[in-house]
Amino acid sequence: MTTRTLINAALGLATLSPLTLASPLGDFANNLDVGAPKLSGNASYSPETQSYTLSGAGQNMWAEKDEFHFAYRKLEGDFIVRATVEFEGEGVDPHRKIGIIARNTLDADSPYADACVHGDGLTSLQYREVKGGPTAEVGSPLTGPTEIELQREGDRFTFSAAAFGEVYQSVSKQIDLNDELFVGLFICSHNPEVTETARFRNVRIVLPAAPDFRPYQDYIGSRLEIMEVATGSRKVLATFPNSIQAPNWTPDGKTLIYNSEGKLYTYTLEDGSINELNTGFANQNNNDHVLSFDGKQIGISHHVGEAGTSVIYTLPVSGSDTPRQITDPSRGHSFLHGWSPDHKSLIFTGQRNGQFDIWSIDIDSKKETPLTQLPSLDDGSEFSPDGRHIFFNSVRSGNMQIWRMKADGSEPTQMTFDSYNNWFPHVAPDGKSFVYLAFPSDIDPNDHPFYKKVYLRHMSIEGGNAKTIAYLYGGQGSINVPSWSPDSTHIAFVSNSRPLD
């Protein structure tokens, strides 16, 4: 099979779960008309595209009561719901509405908060604070977004919106709603004589980690996803109740390799089967596992000894009982990040001389060579496919940014210059662009924590403006390792949520 055929096969798989399959309406339990519109609406779900289509009528969603069609489920406590949205056709009324809504009840006059996009592009956080009371709104500065998100944190509701490729713009409001709410997707035609239709893609319901979760001790569930980089269209391949991290995409296009609880696993794209990859005694692996450019070998970072020192090993991609040790644990931690294209050396983040720098090691001689030597953290190194450059992330300029240097460590050049903390650049196999993970500006620049709202961003190999291609809840473990499809059209990554059921 070609890479494109394998990707198409994966896109045709239904969502998998160790516990349940998706319901006939995907992640939503039911759908109905709220407020008795004159014309009935409906909702459908496509397992192949994992998209929702809603049709509905309704006089309005404003004043003291609402009329609309609603696909919903009950959610308790904090949540994040996001979607890519678009109306079908030109429509009749410029104030037809679609979005994400959270309501106390299914009554027409229920208190609620929503993320609303109008047919004319007007965008706002609408809300009703008391049953039968008036509707109010907080306007968004954005017009006509394609990416929307409604987040609840206690009594604060935040509406974030963006045009695909851009970062979110957000507005919020303190609204006292029930702990358990009816949450989901809606459509209102704003004309009782007309039915309108809209499509919702990339829908994700996220139950976030508890505010007091203990990193590296408390874990929530995971979703293994692939995404078409050009369009941002995403597909969940499998869901897990525990932590999985850092998928590699094999150069033959057939398999994803990820780590979970110290071991490595393979996910076969053609049929969705999952199998453990034999790494022998190396059963305390972290998420720094990298495939050689020819796909014949894999390098891993396994923790050894009472101190749990990270040590690099290599083995055939088919597995081995006896991985080959590459780095010396007595020198300090070694976290693998890249192979050279000629397969003769590895580059890694090494704890040497009291600091973390990027190092190269010759696989045969075991000779180590420092490529950076600064007291600030340098990490996430990866060769370009032509072997001329190494991309990496560094905090040397203040917050964490993406840099590029020559293969010998000379001529470091900063590639990103924004307020985010940018990590883990991964160069496409065609050498034309790279993707990276953007953390918010309010984290420690030296850290890449779990369970944050983050962006995946895409940039030309020569630099310039970055394009936001995915909006997700994740962070550590989402995309720590190279994860491009061999034809440079898709990437694989992990997003996170507590299980929905």
Structure confidence by residue, pLDDT tens digits, 222-249: 999 999 999 999 999 999 999 999 999 9
- Please tell me the predicted confidence (pLDDT) of residue 2: 66
- 114 and 255 both lie in a single domain: no
pLDDT at 372 over 80: yes
pLDDT at 411 over 50: yes
If pLDDT is split at 50, 70 and 90, which confidence band does 11 have? Answer: low
The stretch 382-398 carries a mean pLDDT of: 97
- Please tell me the predicted confidence (pLDDT) of residue 24: 85
Eight-state DSSP code of residue 165: B
- 196 and 233 both lie in a single domain: no
Mean pLDDT rounded to a whole number for the chain: 96
- 247 and 392 both lie in a single domain: yes
Token pair of 481 as six digits = 């390792």
* Rounded Cα distance, 271 and 13, in Å: 8
Q: Is 83 a member of any domain?
A: yes
Provide the β-strand partners of residue 345: 362
CATH number of the domain within which 434 lies: 2.120.10.30
The three-state secondary structure class of 227 is strand
Token pair of 478 as six digits = 């989402």
Helix (H) or strand (E) holding 113, with range, is: strand 112-118
Strand order in the sheet with 97-103: 30-34, 68-76, 180-188, 97-103, 112-118, 123-128, 135-139
The stretch 207-228 carries a mean pLDDT of: 97
> Which ranges of 196-344 would DSSP assign to H, the alpha helix?
none
The tens digit of pLDDT for each residue in 117-173 reads 999 999 999 999 999 999 999 999 999 999 999 999 999 999 999 999 999 999 999
List the domain range (segments joined by +) for residue 140.
22-206
- Please tell me the predicted confidence (pLDDT) of residue 88: 96
- 60 and 200 both lie in a single domain: yes
Q: Is 7 a member of any domain?
A: no
- 171 and 317 both lie in a single domain: no
The tens digit of pLDDT for each residue in 63-81 reads 999 999 999 999 999 999 9
- 194 and 256 both lie in a single domain: no
- Please tell me the predicted confidence (pLDDT) of residue 107: 98
- Please tell me the predicted confidence (pLDDT) of residue 9: 62
Domain boundary among 179, 206, 233: 206
- Please tell me the predicted confidence (pLDDT) of residue 363: 98
Handedness of CA 223, 224, 227, 229 (dihedral sign): positive
- 254 and 155 both lie in a single domain: no
- E strands, 340-466, in order: 345-352, 355-362, 368-370, 378-383, 389-394, 401-406, 413-414, 421-427, 433-439, 452-460
Tally of residues, the chain: 501
The tens digit of pLDDT for each residue in 419-438 reads 999 999 999 999 999 999 99
The answer to whether the CB of 95 falls within 8 A of the CB of 119 is: yes
* Rounded Cα distance, 218 and 446, in Å: 21
Tally of structural domains, the chain: 2
- 162 and 225 both lie in a single domain: no
Amino acid at 382: E
Q: Is 10 a member of any domain?
A: no
End-to-end alpha carbon distance in the chain: 36
- Please tell me the predicted confidence (pLDDT) of residue 23: 61
* Rounded Cα distance, 425 and 416, in Å: 11
- 255 and 384 both lie in a single domain: yes
- 176 and 226 both lie in a single domain: no
- 241 and 127 both lie in a single domain: no
- 281 and 322 both lie in a single domain: yes
If pLDDT is split at 50, 70 and 90, which confidence band does 19 have? Answer: very low
Q: Is 8 a member of any domain?
A: no
